[in-house]
Amino acid sequence: MREVGKKLRRLGFAAVFMLAASATQARSQGSPACGLPAALGDGWTIDSPDSAGLDSVRLCAISARLKEIEANVHAVVIVRHGKLVFEQYFAGYDEPWGQGGGQHDFDATTKHDMRSASKSVISLLVGIAIDRKLIKSADEPVVKFFPDYSAQKSPGWDNITLRHLLTMSSGIQWDENRGWKDPKNDEPHLGNEADPIRYVLSKPVAAPPDTVWTYNGGGTDLLGNIIERVSGKSLEAFARDTLFAPLGISDWEWMKYANEKIAPAVGLRLRPRDAAKIGQLVLNKGDWNSKQIVSAKWIAQSVTPRFQAIGYFSGLFFYGQQWWMGRSIAQEKEVKWIAAMGSGGQRIFIVPDRDLVVMTTSGLYFRPYQGDAALDMMANYILPSVRDNNTR
């Protein structure tokens, strides 16, 4: 995958224009329009890129680019001005949850692992629980929700709040940067321990809360369990009733670990065009079809940069409440975005200044440069394709 990163940097803008020219020639020869979204009756209004102020010729060059750099991208979905305007799917290697690795075909009806993009959905669910007064606020202490573990919690846990878990600033000793089979990698313990909640709460507090950012799926798993405890429902039922059903998302799964415990931090499977609805919900500040699903206040808190997230994924990003923030440079202009990110190249990009949502899936699990293809598409194809002034 290092070669992929090198290719991306080597090709540059010259390749973009060459591929765009190829797309123009194909169109002049009568080829059908690429990326035309399917009408599935799933709540999306369908439009064309050109009608939505995007350059369709430039977007049509994406598939050739991905083939050239062997990016193993499975889906590219684009939403502009609240309408689904572009989607393309590609066969490739994947490692679906519990199925092992192999070649797979993908289309508009195929669910895909979201991996750690699941964390951003958990953030929305916590916000909904607060909106419904099931939780007083994100500043509630975590241990309040786990009285049955009072004897197991490590010293210092009394000072950790839900917001610390959301921003990954709890300060607990946690390491997910090791090899998967390394016993010091904490993440596999979430799926292997008979009681993963006990495992997380027993971790020592290595730094005062709100001082150090450390990527931590264990905190997200605690948040998922808290949702179950305050709602009296399974995480799946709460997600279905409060988020997915209102968004018109009916074909989804939330997978379990080998220990049969739900996997809040990494287990969500969605169709890419349904995942794009999550992005549109955030872009609309919690509103979907004039219904406020999660408060605008919670969205604003969630996407406010709070920490510099260094050394996780490729790039230099900021972190909010289970949401990433970053920027792309497109045509010498800085464009800020918000994102849900998952291992393997799962990305939901939200670009408020361009009224744009971009969702990508791919199969590059546990490999370096796994997000380069998505960022390349954003910087060299999708953002430069915007050609109207009708932005937010």
Q: pLDDT category, 391, cuts 50, 70, 90? A: low
CA distances to 50, 90, 184, 355, 386 from 54, rounded to whole Å, are 5, 22, 48, 11, 5
Closest CA to 217 of 175, 268, 259: 175
| Structural tokens at position 127 | 């916000």
Report, as an integer, the average pLDDT of 129-151: 97
Q: pLDDT category, 369, cuts 50, 70, 90? A: low
pLDDT > 70: percent of the chain: 88
Closest CA to 241 of 134, 361, 104, 111: 134
* Dist. CA 216–CA 186, nearest whole Å: 9
Closest CA to 265 of 329, 207, 340: 340
Q: Is the pLDDT of residue 22 over 90?
A: no
DSSP alpha helix (H) spans, 267-316: 272-283, 296-302
Bridge partner residues of 359 (DSSP) = 77, 348
* Dist. CA 65–CA 383, nearest whole Å: 15
Kindly state the helix (H) or strand (E) to which residue 326 belongs, with its residue range: strand 324-330
Q: pLDDT category, 29, cuts 50, 70, 90? A: very low
Q: Which pLDDT score, from 0 to 100, does residue 27 have?
A: 39
Task: Please provide the CATH number assigned to the domain covering 120-231.
Answer: 1.20.58.710
Asked if 281 and 275 touch (Cβ cutoff 8 Å), the reply is no
Please give the backbone phi and psi of residue 333, each rounded to the nearest 5 degrees, phi first. -120, 140
Digit-coded pLDDT (tens) for 264-316: 999 999 999 999 999 999 999 999 999 999 999 999 999 999 999 976 665 67
For the chain, give every residue range classified as CATH 1.20.58.710: 120-231
Provide CB contacts within 8 A for 30, sequence distance 6+. none
Asked if 269 and 113 touch (Cβ cutoff 8 Å), the reply is yes
* Dist. CA 211–CA 229, nearest whole Å: 28
Closest CA to 80 of 283, 272, 240: 283
Provide CB contacts within 8 A for 25, sequence distance 6+. none
CA distances to 56, 84, 100, 346 from 93, rounded to whole Å, are 28, 26, 10, 14
The helix/strand/coil state of 74 is: strand
Q: pLDDT category, 249, cuts 50, 70, 90? A: very high
- To 10 degrees, the CA torsion angle through 200, 201, 202, 203? 60
Q: Is the pLDDT of residue 31 over 60?
A: no
Asked if 351 and 391 touch (Cβ cutoff 8 Å), the reply is no
Report, as an integer, the average pLDDT of 139-144: 98
Closest CA to 380 of 338, 332, 330, 333: 330
* Dist. CA 149–CA 327, nearest whole Å: 41
Q: Which pLDDT score, from 0 to 100, does residue 370 have?
A: 62
Kindly state the helix (H) or strand (E) to which residue 125 belongs, with its residue range: helix 118-131
Digit-coded pLDDT (tens) for 199-235: 999 999 999 999 999 999 999 999 999 999 999 999 9
Average pLDDT, the chain: 91
* Dist. CA 392–CA 93, nearest whole Å: 38
Q: pLDDT category, 7, cuts 50, 70, 90? A: very low
Q: Is the pLDDT of residue 23 over 80?
A: no
| Structural tokens at position 73 | 């991208």
| Structural tokens at position 159 | 């000072």
* Dist. CA 113–CA 269, nearest whole Å: 4
Q: Which pLDDT score, from 0 to 100, does residue 371 have?
A: 64
* Dist. CA 280–CA 275, nearest whole Å: 9
Asked if 140 and 162 touch (Cβ cutoff 8 Å), the reply is yes
* Dist. CA 362–CA 375, nearest whole Å: 13
